[in-house]
Amino acid sequence: MPSALFKKASLSNAASGQCVLSISVISPEHGRRRAAIGALSECHNGPIREFISYPPNLDDVARTLNRDYDVVILDLDSDQEYALNLVRSICVGARATVMVFSAKTDRAMLLNAMRAGAREYLTLPIDSNLLGEALKRVSALRPPPENYSKPDGSLLVFLNSKGGAGATTVATNFAVALARDSSKRTLLIDLNLPLGDVAINLGIKAEHSIANALDHANRLDRSLLNGMLVKHGSGLWVLAAPTELTATHFSDWAIDKLVELARLEFDAVVVDAGAKLYMESTRLFDLSAVIYLVTQVGIAPLRNANRVIQKLSTPGSPRVEIVLNRFDARRQEIAEEYVVKALTRPAEWKIPDNPDAVRRMQHNGVPLIDEDSDIARAIRQMSAAVSGRTVAPVKKKNFGFFR
């Protein structure tokens, strides 16, 4: 995008300790663009950059705008549909605040802009006093600058090859181990709609759910997200599934907004995605993600796992790690060589079959990794690989009549 104007921040703002906002103004129409910049010049002394056209690539440029600017002021009138798509793309990153302006006082347009994520709707001619007040609100709500220097958190997505393969059990205990045994601030998102079991497995009750977050994605920010979370005793933060039947499909944009914001807030974001391969167009399947494909030894789950692996073996796909769940080498009816052939490679992880431990977890709401068991050790090894730790072998108790 060509630029035509730069302004340097004045020393008066810096000297007073006031946060200096960097602002970009985007409009293909010269008159409207100059009007917006003119209003800014009366209430803002910080850097301003002027863009004389809409960006040709929404995602890439939206990320750049999010990284480089605190506020993006966007003209709606030149191409309303494209402008609203740009608003959505910028708001997914959840850093920059988007304001829009128009010569029209159209209620429908205002609602569409707010739903897309815009925080302010300005009408031409722009009142510099109102604009100044809006900028003050933005400055007051911005998090400390050090938060922006934090790299995006790890995205760790658990996917079932077939319903009931056990992704929820593995993901829940993996997340607890990661939160407890490492220094990573960890969030577990239960996306296994319509009724996920993460909260049951952890014995927690949540006032809000992921449905609330996705339903209000247009205004989702750090404060709203944190208010929807519940903290487990292990230190793990949880965005639970709803306790009642709800919609199972949400827009890709809403999911992207949630994932991007979560990665900005947390060092590790664990997602129980159930069997939702149809979400492959979302950022759950971003190149930087790790997909843990949970399957079992059986004709149907192995066949489905093969299909998923083939689908995620194309360039630009995330890394896939195969998890053989409920694995018991002594009782497998399919020889291991055929399992490897179906999966196209050996599984990275094997979780032993321990139905009694799983039942105790579900009945008592206590993570199974709290026990001294083979399944607990296997899951701890998975989480340790993420944080670069090693899991010390658990000492076996000596037999005796006395404690």
Check: pTM over 0.75? Answer yes or no.
Answer: no
List pLDDT tens digits, range 336-350: 899 999 999 999 999
Tell me if 3-147 shares its fold with 150-387.
yes
What is the dotted CATH code of the domain comprising 3-147? 3.40.50.2300
Q: What's the pLDDT score for residue 37?
A: 94
Report which of residues 9 and 82 the model is more confident about.
82
> Any bridge partners for residue 98, and if so which?
72
- Range 150-387 has CATH code 3.40.50.2300: no
Read off the pLDDT of residues 299-308 as tens digits, 9 standing for 90 and up: 999 999 999 9
Average pLDDT over residues 57-65: 69
Three-state SS sequence of 324-387: EEEECCCCCCCCHHHHHHHHCCCCCEEEECCHHHHHHHHHHCCCHHHCCCHHHHHHHHHHHHHH
Domain range summary for the chain, segments of one domain joined by +: 3-147, 150-387
Give 182 or 230, the one with higher predicted confidence: 230
Which structure tokens are listed for 15?
């000297």
Tell how strand 97-102 and strand 120-123 pair up.
parallel
Q: What percent of the chain has pLDDT over 90?
A: 44
Q: Tokens representing 233?
A: 């005793």
Q: How far apart are CA 7 and CA 262, in angstroms?
A: 33
d(CA 16, CA 122): 28
Residue keyed to tokens 């489905």: 304
Mean pLDDT of 244-265: 83
pLDDT of residue 149: 53
Cβ pair 206, 199 in contact under 8 A: yes
Q: How far apart are CA 340 and CA 321, in angstroms?
A: 13
Name residue, tokens 């196209």: 344
Query: Of 168-182, 272-286, 370-384, which range is least confident?
Result: 272-286
Task: Flag whether pLDDT at 29 surpasses 90.
Answer: yes
